[in-house]
Amino acid sequence: MYKASASLAAAARDYRWLLDRGYALPSSLKLVGDRFRLASEERLVLFRGVSSTSRSTSRLARASPETGGRRLLVDAYNQILTVYHYTKGRPVFVATDGVLRDAGGAHGRISDREGFERAMQILADSIAAQRPSSVLAFFDAPVSGSAGHALSFALALSRRGLEARSLVEASADPPLKLALAGDRVASSDSAILDAIGQGPGALSYDAARKAIEGAFGARDWLDLGGLLRADPAAVGD
């Protein structure tokens, strides 16, 4: 499992302090990253893993541990790639808002097609085990092969007995942000999580974490929220 260095732990505390006081994200990240001489990977963990106290609390309050037999909307690449990056040994961690995220940095490029397909099947297995009433997955059109990926995922879910559709959109964000009351939304995208928190009653669902833990067992995740609550002296190098 990915572990935090003493520098990353200290940087997380300073970064949260700045965010809680309204400082801008880019300048805060650069200031803290430069001060603690963080590598690019650690800066990405900080950026994706630490949110302000208020935003973390709000997202935690809107999270559901299960689909509850509701319609599930899936931010497909976001969730599949988290599983994929875990299988590739990339940093995966629990952010301060309780959501599993990664520092894989694929940026829409999928070099290992077989590995990506395996991750897709792991996610499909886990979603099927939760028995949502239906699944609507959104794939980002700019990603190479998106039409084929969308078809494969819909078929994988249908073969597991679910009512499922996959749509290819210019961006998955807008339709996910319009989730309806009672929907569950599987995404770790902060903008999407904040948008549904202001909407009519949709909840977030951490499908990627559920999938990884279902396939590989309970994990000893780096928990950045726990790290910020811990005694600084307890964090090793």
pLDDT tens, residue by residue, 109-131? 788 999 999 999 999 999 999 99
The residues near 112 (Cβ < 8 Å, ≥ 6 apart) are: 84, 88
**pTM (2 d.p.):** 0.94
The answer to whether residues 1 and 222 touch, using CB atoms and an 8 Å cutoff, is yes
Domains in the chain with CATH codes: 6-58+223-231 (no CATH), 63-216 (3.40.50)
- Between vectors from CA 211 to CA 207 and to CA 213, what angle results, nearest 5°? 120
Residue-wise pLDDT for 168-205, tens only, equals 999 999 999 999 999 999 999 999 999 998 888 899 99
